[in-house]
Amino acid sequence: MDMVKERARTMDFQVIKAELYSGLLADILDEMGYRNQAMHYTIHPLKEDDVVVGRAFTVLATDVYDQPEEPYKLEFQAVDKLSQGDVLVATTNGSICSGFWGELLTTAAMGRGASGAVLDGMSRDTRAIRKLAFPLFLRGTNPLDSKGRTDVIDYQCTIECGGVTVHPGDLIFGDYDGVVVVPADIAEEVVEKAFEKAGAENEVRDAIRNGLSATETWNTYHIL
C-alpha cells in the first residue's frame, strides 16, 4: 500500500473505530509527552459496547437560574452546525442539575451525520437513546429539563471536558475504558503510530501464547 493510501486509511474513522482502542491511543500519547488526554472515569458510554470516533465539535454550557427568553437557542444552533464525522463534546462545567442532552437532540445530531456525543454532564430520555445507533458518553442521567437550569453560552471554542482541554477539531476516541482526546495537530502521527503498535501487539500476543514469559516479552518487545 503506497503512502497516500496508507495515510487515507489511518484517518478513516471507521477503520480507526474497528481496529484501535482507547488504551492504545493513550499509550502513544504518553510516549509523545501528552500525559493528560483521558477524560475522568465518571464519563462512560451509555451502552457498554459503544465506540465513538470523530472530530470534536465543542459546546460550552453552564448553570443558569432564570428562564431564558430564547430557550435552547445556542444549543440548537450548535447541533444544526454539526457535520459528518463530528463528535459533539459538551461541558456543563460539572453541573448535574439537569438532563442537558436527550432523544430529540440525539435524533437531530444523527440527521446531521454526527458520530456521537460526549458530555461531562447528564442526559435524559435514555431508554429511547439506547434504541438509537448513536454513541453517547456521559456522567449520568437526570429527568429534569435543561431549560432555566443549564444553557449553552458558546460553541466551537476551547473547553475543558472531563478534566481534558478540548479544541474544535481534536480527534475524539471513546470506548468502554474511557474517552481519549488527541490534539488535532498530532492526530495523524498518533493514529499512524497506534496502527504500528497494534501490529506489534499482535506479534507479542502470539509470542505469549507460544510460551514467552512476561519478562521475556518486555525485554524483547518493550510492549505489554
Distance between CA atoms of 55 and 188, rounded to whole angstroms? Answer: 12
C-alpha cell at 3: 503512502
Closest residue by Cα to residue 37 from 219, 169, 163? 163
Distance between CA atoms of 8 and 189, rounded to whole angstroms? Answer: 12
pLDDT in tens, the chain (224 residues): 454 345 445 679 999 999 999 999 999 999 999 999 999 999 999 999 999 999 999 999 999 999 889 999 999 999 999 999 999 999 998 889 999 999 999 999 999 999 999 999 999 999 999 999 999 999 999 999 999 999 999 999 999 999 999 999 999 999 999 999 999 999 999 999 999 988 766 666 665 676 656 676 556 556 65
Q: Which helix (H) or strand (E) holds 174?
A: strand 171-175
The CA-based dihedral angle spanning residues 97, 99, 105, 106, taken in that order and rounded to the nearest 10 degrees: 130
Sign (positive/negative) of CA torsion 192, 193, 198, 200? positive
User: Per DSSP, what are the bridge partners of residue 123?
Assistant: 101, 141
The pTM score is 0.88
